Structure 1
Amino acid sequence: TSLPAATSIVVRGARQNNLRSIDVEIPHGSLSVVTGVSGSGKSSLALETVYAEGQRRYVASLSTYAQQFLDRFPRPAVDAIEGLPPAVSIERANPILTRRSTVGTATEVYDYLRLLYARAGILHCPSCGLPIAPHTATEAADRVMAEAGASAWLITFALTVSEALTHDVLVDNLRSLGFIRLLAGGREVHIEEMEEGSDLTRAIPLFVVVDRVRVGSTPRARIVEAIERAYAEGEGEAVIFARGKTAPEHGRSLSREARCEGCRRTFPEPRPTLFSFNSPYGACPECNGFGNLLEYDPARIVPDPARSLAEGALDPWTKPRYTRRRERLRAFTREAGLSWKAPWSDLPQRARDVLLAGGRYEGIRFEGVLPFLESLEAKKYKAYVRFFLRGYQSYRLCPACGGSRLRPEAVSVTVGGISIVDVIRWPLSRLADWLTGMDPDAAPAGVLGPVRRELERRVGLLLAVGLDYLSLDRLTRTLSGGEAQRIAIANALGTPLTGGLYVLDEPSVGLHARDTGRIVDLLRELTSHGNTALVVEHDLDIVRAADHVIELGPGSGAAGGRVVFAGSPQELVDADTVTGKWLRGEAGLAGNRRPTPKGPWLTVRGARANNLSCIDAAIPLGTLTAVTGVSGSGKSTLVHDVLYRALAARLAPAAGGGAREAEAIGAHDAIEGMERVSGVVLVDQSPIGKSPRSNPATYVKAFDAIRNLFAATPAARRRGFTAGHFSFNTAAGRCPECRGDGHERIEMIFLPDVFVKCEACRGRRYRPEVLAVKWRGHSIADALELTIAEALEFFRGEPGVGGGLWVLQAVGLG
């Protein structure tokens, strides 16, 4: 007899992070929500325990190569998990950094569009605009038989004669191949009946007659065979002439290749890779498929035209490293009679051109900033040089492809008169309408039907998650974490997986309350396929919609990690828990009426980036201002693309130097009041750590003071240790095997890389002799393992440590 199937996932003795050896049950096929205050252990249970164990079990089913690392693959701190199906995690972070990934490629919608255009598209010549289509021998035969202009035809191919070839050799070659008729200079000639002294090598053009056919009496198979022979001998091209009209201009070309009859240009065969900007076959050769070029931007080199040369109008030469360049600039202005203290905008245009691009002014030669920056490119192998140069570069639309990323031949292919470039620039809602209204006769039903059905299904899923405002050419790296997660949900729904476990981390983040219902509907659809959805969530609407709720608490950190409730949402309403009080309406934000702000104001004029419709927005300075609206209304575009990038370009043109800093400022007319702002900081959902060794203590600068405390101990002084020995970023004290990471990365080929604890230091990052140094009974590794709340108590009386840690505690990260 078979064992009864498990009805739920049973977790016993979970103690990962701050979990207090808890037991929970998650019903199969249900929408289960794990809720609780921040830091109560929700992610520790859902992601680091349940999902991590599911991932470990999946790896165990793989090859021997993968299994050799299992002993090093850390098991979650849990006694047992029963009834665990295959697990998939859909997290909120946007992991995409490359500029090649778009919404279309991430959702595979673009892959199906490429297939549609390769199979149903009509190629047009970019120069002539004429439609181009290759003809197989069968298609060419059908065209000959359908011609109404004549009933008798000569099927020929053009013959190119080498200068070294003689008439006799040419005739012998033709005779040996079985050809006896030609069109020479427009006249039909039989090689056995030519006049004495004839020379075919002088006849231009020269066509060899393969066969003479008559529509209606010549079998179709014979016509197909004749065209095949003409293609074989004529390098893929046949020429047909109506009997009696054999002048060269009367010939009609049939090509096995895609060739324009107007300009005779040959085109590549439309295939899916022709429409891929990630393939050398389809990418624009000028920008290599990126759609833009990185060039030096005069607006970044001269960020503030109101500055004078003395005040550093030419920003690159204000850096201490280039003091000599600044001295040369001063000498040039004296010799050329230019004002050193006049605003940049008041200098003569010719002088500004020379200062930027180099040249002669008043007979005096000057190198210019742009040639100086270009000369540094030879040293781009140095990180600081790359960092420096990127601060003065901006992306400019590729002039060759106009931002389409594709070669001209791909852009010239249309379906229903629309190119693939036009389609991917539409919002998804318009794309859905186009697919619905597509002409069914645009391609054979066996080709168009399956592709269109799959496109409609995948686009429909994206509409269902509230992403109807996105276009397929939107860069994935510009999406918010919530948008990236919703795309992952749509991709999950697009696969036929059943009986699996989906673990989601706060899918409502970034959604307006109006759109929360869509997420609930999608989660319901997941569970309707026999899957289990385990959701970490704070949103009360999603909590109410759940089948099963697990609340952890009662507090955060050491005060959390316990199950304070498990049951239905209806039962939670009556429970004496934090979430229960919010569901009953007993808890809420205290009302705090604020006075109407009176300024000063930061005003954006004419913002029209992405979907912004030339709007004006006034933001009071010195206040907390919230920009809200439904998903896709343009909030991030206004705040990030327009306001932040414009302020960053003006206030810190060379700060950062990364790819994001070099992106174009969102289109707008002006920003008034920028002179009242002295600095700008972007706080978004991207990771704050620049190194895998970064941690909260290093980020708030508390780790420097901690290292100094350990370096000042008698044990450290006896060993000659400095503060550098207690840093895992220097070779003096860190573990030589993992270089201070505490783990090693194992490449899993077709799976995400696995990080396993370093066997040498057991994850403690330091050499044994460094760990032997104690301060108040703790080693440096012990100190790093303390929670923020524990560290505040442990380092009490040490102001250099407590200041930064107190801020972390105040924002709820204790």
Structure 2
Amino acid sequence: MKDDYIRIEGARVNNLKDIHLTIPRHSLCVITGLSGSGKSSLAFDTIHAEGQRRYLETLSSYARQYLGILQRPDVDHISGLSPIIAIEQKTTTRNPRSTVGTITEIYDFLRLLFARASIAYSPVTGKPMIRYTAEQMVALIAQQYKGKRCILLSPVVRGRKGHYRELLDQILKKGFLEVRIDGTITQITHNMMLDRYKSHFIEIVIDKLVPPSQEDADPALLARLRDSVNTALYHGDGSFAVLDPDTGKLDHFSKHLMCPESGLSFPEPAPHSFSFNSPQGACPTCKGLGYTTRIDLQKIIPDPALSIAQGGLDPFGKYRDTTLFQHLEGVAKKYGFSLHTPIKDIPEEGMDTLLYGSEELIYVKSSIGTHTITFSGLIHRMEQMSEQSEKRMAANDRYLEEVMCPECKGTRLNSTALQFRFADKNIAQLAAMDILPLLQWLKNVEDNISERQKKIASDILKELRDRLRFLLDVGLSYLSLNRSTRTLSGGESQRIRLATQIGSTLVNVLYILDEPSIGLHQRDNLKLIHAL
């Protein structure tokens, strides 16, 4: 049948010389030949270019004005084309935020899994965190404090400095007469102020009552307890505490995820809570990169035998009559060396001051006389110059080195995101696993989770397993999801894009691949052919 073939007539793109060709559809076809024989000209510049041009012509004129006009390839006629996807052999992106997990969208499914089916653990006690409904809180208070006097407290300030005069006046206007300040219950007075330089903990005293037991409860007392709990939740932004005045024991309750012992609470998890590209999930120190940059002293001082005057401090060059070198002379005089002293012979204290600065006064001689300064250090000066000028930032980049973020240890996520676990593993641990062990773990994970988690996670787990199998089929079992795409070879990047396309399960699509087996061991070639 005519539709079973792609027919090309009169192709003259680049070094093709009026080629006529028939290619069978629904089959794996290989174009081979010597270098420069026109393989890429036929596959990419003729077949793919014409398929792309025809697709764009189906769009509205309004959409086409933003996409530009594609030139028709130099060919007489092409028939039998399907929708075409070309996967070239090149690195995917140099973006440091891009990983194997993000470009395959597998990490997106992991984020969804943790947002819906994970369990939060308290970083203080290591125990699972809990959440209550208002009715459950009423029942628990009635059970724990029946016949005992207790005090309901709504937290409004947690460990912050300030005098809080306006806040205390607002609390008084709302009808509350007492607050608990730093552990002591105090009556509110007009224009009351606290020590503004100390950190304070302030809680509103909502009610003092003796809860009834639910079995023989007085309806009026139970209604009062229910109203007080709702009021405490409103003023405490979903959290409150119950104080036993006899023992000083404090029990915490929250509609959010909360540690019942310490009172620490987490916001409700969402997919962006586990994204290192989102402020809600990213490590605040490295901003989700997994590494920070610092000045490499070996690059600043490549030859310690040179003196400062000879250009031993590489970013600043040889001695010149400038303000900076006048400051350096002042530091040198204070610590007993000169700018002509080899850097290796400069006293340690003097070298520390040169690099990192000091609050001590330095006497500096200049054309206008002698004056005193505090020297901020050469490294601080380089950082300031980088902030002020992009050109200087590029120049200083060669003196920087990337080091693992000390806060997140390379996981890219903040501490809250790492406290959520699924089958005793957090999302960073799963992203660090190689593809093959991760797939094996996902196959057996349903034996280690609750029935509720199974119902929520079954569809997500199936999608994760399917997408990981596609990566295995193209010979990428040794990669991990947190692997940066900057470190991938051209062949690896191409096979990742291929696995993503296979995972989309489109049919009747014409794929054009540029040497997809490059870099593969011979035993993996059969896997790749089977996947194709």
**Which range moved further: 345-354 or 493-502?**
345-354
RMSD: 4.2
Aligned partner of 2:257 in structure 1 is 258
Alignment of 1:358-757 (within 5 A): 358=357, 369-381=378-390, 383=391, 385-438=392-445, 439-441=448-450, 443-523=452-532
Pairing of 1:197-236 with structure 2 (within 5 A): 207=207, 212=212, 214=214, 231-232=233-234, 235-236=237-238
> 1:497 Cα deviation (Å)?
0.4
Give distance in 2, aligned partners of 1:370 and 1:167: 53
Give the equivalent residue in structure 2 for 1:53: 50
Q: Deviations over 1:687-727 (max 9, x none)?
A: xxxxxxxxxxxxxxxxxxxxxxxxxxxxxxxxxxxxxxxxx
Q: Output the CA distance in 2 between the equivalents of 1:334 and 1:206.
A: 65
State the Cα distance separating 1:479 from its structure 2 match: 0.9
* Deviation string, structure 1 residues 260-316 (Cα, Å, up to 9, x no partner): 333333322111111111111211222222222223221221234455556643211
Sequence identity, in percent?
36
For 1:17, give the aligned amino acid.
N
The separation in 1 between residues aligned to 2:354 and 2:250, in whole angstroms, is: 61
CA distance in 2: counterparts of 1:270 and 1:329, whole angstroms: 53
Shift of the 520–374 alpha-carbon distance from structure 1 to 2, 3 Å rule, reads same
Is the 1:291–1:404 contact (alpha carbons within 8 Å) kept by the matching residues of 2? yes
User: Does structure 2 retain, via aligned residues, the 8 Å contact 1:49–1:76?
Assistant: yes
Distance across 1 between alignment mates of 2:39 and 2:275: 41
* Maintained 8 Å contact 1:155/1:230: no
Q: 1:7 to 1:329 in 2, by over 3 A?
A: same
Correspondence for 1:37 among 15, 34, 37:
34
Q: Does the C-alpha gap of structure 1 residues 424 and 310 become closer, same or farther in structure 2, counting only changes over 3 Å?
A: same
CA contact (8 A) 1:317 1:323 kept: no
Closer/same/farther in 2, CA of residues 170 and 301 from structure 1, 3 Å limit: closer
Q: Give the drift of 1:446.
A: 2.3
Does residue 115 (structure 1) correspond to residue 124 (structure 2)? The answer is no
CA distance, structure 1, for counterparts of residue 310 and residue 148 of structure 2? 82
Over 3 Å counting, the alpha-carbon distance change for 1:307 and 1:428 in structure 2 is farther
- The letter for the 1-side match of 2:454 is A
Q: How far apart, CA to CA, are the structure 1 residues paired with 2:376 and 2:149? A: 69
Structure of greater relative contact order (alpha carbons < 8 Å, 6+ residues apart) = 2
User: Which runs of 5 or more structure 2 residues have no equivalent in the other structure?
Assistant: 156-166, 178-184, 186-202, 365-374
Q: CA deviation at 1:372?
A: 3.7
Retained in 1: the 8 A contact 2:439–2:468? yes
- Residues 206 and 338 of structure 1, relative CA distance in 2, 3 Å threshold: same
Could you tell me whether the CA contact under 8 Å between 1:282 and 1:410 is conserved in 2?
yes
Partner of 2:194: none
CA distance in 2: counterparts of 1:125 and 1:431, whole angstroms? 26
Superposed CA deviations along residues 183-230 of structure 1, whole A, max 9, x for unmatched, are xx9xxxxxxxxxxxxxxxxx99553669855259999xx999877677
CA distance 1:233–1:36, shift in 2 (3 Å): same
Q: Is the 8 A contact 1:415 1:442 kept in 2?
A: no
Change (3 A) 1:165 1:253: closer
Provide the secondary structure at the position in 1 that maps to 2:44: helix
Distance 1:477 1:168 in 2: 57
AA paired with 2:421?
A: T
Aligned counterparts of 1:70 and 1:517: Cα–Cα separation in 2: 39
2:190 aligns to what? Answer: none
Q: Give the SS at the match of 2:299.
A: helix
Task: Please state whether the residue corresponding to 1:89 is helix, strand or coil.
Answer: strand
Partner letter of residue 238 of structure 2? G
Q: Structure 1 residues 124, 444: closer, same or farther in 2, change over 3 A?
A: closer
Aligned residues: 478
Distance 2:173 2:49 in 1: 81
Taking the aligned partners of 1:69 and 1:486, their CA distance within structure 2 comes to 30
2:99 corresponds to 1:106? no
Q: Is the counterpart of residue 88 in structure 1 residue 90 in structure 2? A: no
Q: Please give the secondary structure, in 2, of the residue aligned with 1:31.
A: coil
Is the Cα contact below 8 Å between 1:231 and 1:237 reproduced in 2?
Answer: yes
Q: Which residue in 1 is equivalent to 2:279?
A: 280
Q: Residues 104, 496 of structure 1: CA spacing in aligned structure 2 closer, same or farther, 3 A cutoff?
A: same
Q: CA deviation at 1:341?
A: 6.8
Amino acid at match of 1:462: L
1:356 offset after TM fit, Å? 2.8
CA distance, structure 2, for counterparts of residue 356 and residue 150 of structure 1: 62
Change (3 A) 1:71 1:454: closer
- Change over 3 Å in CA distance of 1:157–1:351 after alignment to 2: closer
1:290 match: secondary structure? coil
Kept in 2: contact 1:157–1:234 (CA 8 A)? no
Q: 1 CA distance for matches of 2:82 and 2:290? A: 43
TM-score, normalised relative to structure 1? 0.52
Cross-structure match for 1:7: 4
Change (3 A) 1:218 1:405: farther
Counterparts of 1:30 and 1:164, CA distance in 2: 76
Distance 1:10 1:275 in 2: 49
**Structure 1 residues 364 and 204: CA distance shift in structure 2, 3 A:** closer
Aligned mates of 1:240, 1:289 — CA distance in 2: 38
Change (3 A) 1:406 1:46: same
After superposing the two structures, state which structure 1 stretch, 210-219 or 347-356, moved more: 210-219
Deviation at 1:233, TM superposition (A): 7.0
State how far apart, in whole Å, the 1-side matches of 2:517 and 2:455 are.
40
Q: Deviations over 1:721-778 (max 9, x none)?
A: xxxxxxxxxxxxxxxxxxxxxxxxxxxxxxxxxxxxxxxxxxxxxxxxxxxxxxxxxx
**Structure 1: which 5+ residue stretches go unaligned?**
172-184, 186-202, 524-814
Q: Distance in 2 between matches of 1:124 and 1:270?
A: 13
Q: CA deviation at 1:501?
A: 0.6
Q: How big is the shift at 1:350?
A: 2.9
Quote how far apart the aligned CAs of 1:412 are: 1.4
Partners of 2:385 and 2:393 within 8 A in 1? no
Deviation, structure 1 residue 447: 1.0
1-structure distance, mates of 2:31, 2:175: 89
C-alpha distance in 1 between matches for 2:443 and 2:263: 37
CA deviation profile, 1:103-124 (whole Å, cap 9, x unmatched): 1111111111111111122222
Amino acid at match of 1:423: L
Cα separation, 2, equivalents of 1:428 and 1:483: 14
Which is higher, the Rg of structure 1 or of structure 2?
1
Alignment match, 1:300? 299
Tell me which residue corresponds to 1:77. Answer: 74
Q: Deviations over 1:300-333 (max 9, x none)?
A: 21234455556643211337xx854697699679
